[in-house]
């Protein structure tokens, strides 16, 4: 007995109209449009024998990929460290009325020396709660092993010794 396969129509996937874009999709769309614009502009210059930074980057990537990728990685990490530093300062600024000063060990790390106006266990617990939030926040997806956040509470007696570090404002 022969079996017949039932034919089913495959519906085409719905495409999003520009009006249906949400704010996140708008941002992605705008970035892609900007890249497209930059690529077209760069291609037209390249045809005329001119090389701008966009085409120069891809030329470097094709001719010498490893150093180019390492340089891109380094710039990305620097940007990420800057963003994470801003996040840390934002979190600490909530407690600014209780903080006398904050010093950063180096631009490459998220190590901070904090001098409190009044050093209490309760206030330290609040500050450590921020560190716990930073380390466990799945929405941020921070690699806390590569970018650990350390808060060290020190006495105001050490202010003169901390002068060699960057004093950050909240």
pLDDT recorded at residue 28: 84
pLDDT recorded at residue 100: 94
Average pLDDT by consecutive 10-residue portion of the chain (170 residues)? 48 49 72 89 92 89 90 91 92 91 91 93 89 82 87 92 92
Long-range contacts from 91-100, C-beta under 8 angstroms, 24+ separation: 91/130, 91/133, 91/134, 92/127, 92/130, 92/170, 93/170, 94/130, 95/123, 95/126, 95/127, 96/170, 98/123, 99/170, 100/156
pLDDT recorded at residue 50: 92
pTM to 2 decimals? 0.67
């Amino acid at each position: 007995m022969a079996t017949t396969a039932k034919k089913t129509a495959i519906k085409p996937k719905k495409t999003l109209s520009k009006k249906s874009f949400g704010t996140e999709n708008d941002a992605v769309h705008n970035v892609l449009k900007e890249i497209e614009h930059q690529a077209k502009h760069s291609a037209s210059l390249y045809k005329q024998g001119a090389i701008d930074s966009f085409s120069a980057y891809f030329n470097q990537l094709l001719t010498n990929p490893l150093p180019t990728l390492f340089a891109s990685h380094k710039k990305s990490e620097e940007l990420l460290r800057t963003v994470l530093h801003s996040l840390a300062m934002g979190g600490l600024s909530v407690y600014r009325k209780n903080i006398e000063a904050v010093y950063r060990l180096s631009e490459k790390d998220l190590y901070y020396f904090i001098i409190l106006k009044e050093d209490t266990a309760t206030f330290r617990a609040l500050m450590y709660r921020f560190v716990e939030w930073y380390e466990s926040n799945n929405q941020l997806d921070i690699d806390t092993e590569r970018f650990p956040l350390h808060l060290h509470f020190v006495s105001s007696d050490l202010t003169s010794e901390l002068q060699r570090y960057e004093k950050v404002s909240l």
